[in-house]
Amino acid sequence: MRIKDNFWLGLLIGAATFALCFLLLSLIHWGEAYTRAPYLLAFIPGIILFRMAMVKWHMERCGKGILAITFVGMLLVFFLV
């Protein structure tokens, strides 16, 4: 079964990947100096998924959705945390 190339699906995949990675990284005690570390490290799998969606799977709309959630999330981390 082929997955549809959809922007909203990309947003969902990007958000789910971030949430799962953030939950795993939040189990590690980072200390006071590294308060942003789990947030920023949780975005790395989203960037990898973006590349795979665009180059390997040829799903441009889905890749744009993953990139959008990653970019907006990084901006929110830098301005709010």
pLDDT 10s digits, 23-67 = 999 999 988 888 888 999 999 999 999 999 999 999 999 999 999
d(Cα 33, Cα 20) in Å, to the nearest integer? 23
> Does residue 42 or residue 4 have the better pLDDT?
42
pLDDT of residue 2: 79
d(Cα 64, Cα 30) in Å, to the nearest integer? 31
Task: Report the length, in residues, of the chain.
Answer: 81
d(Cα 15, Cα 4) in Å, to the nearest integer? 18
> Does residue 25 or residue 1 have the better pLDDT?
25
At 20, phi and psi to the nearest 5?
-65, -45
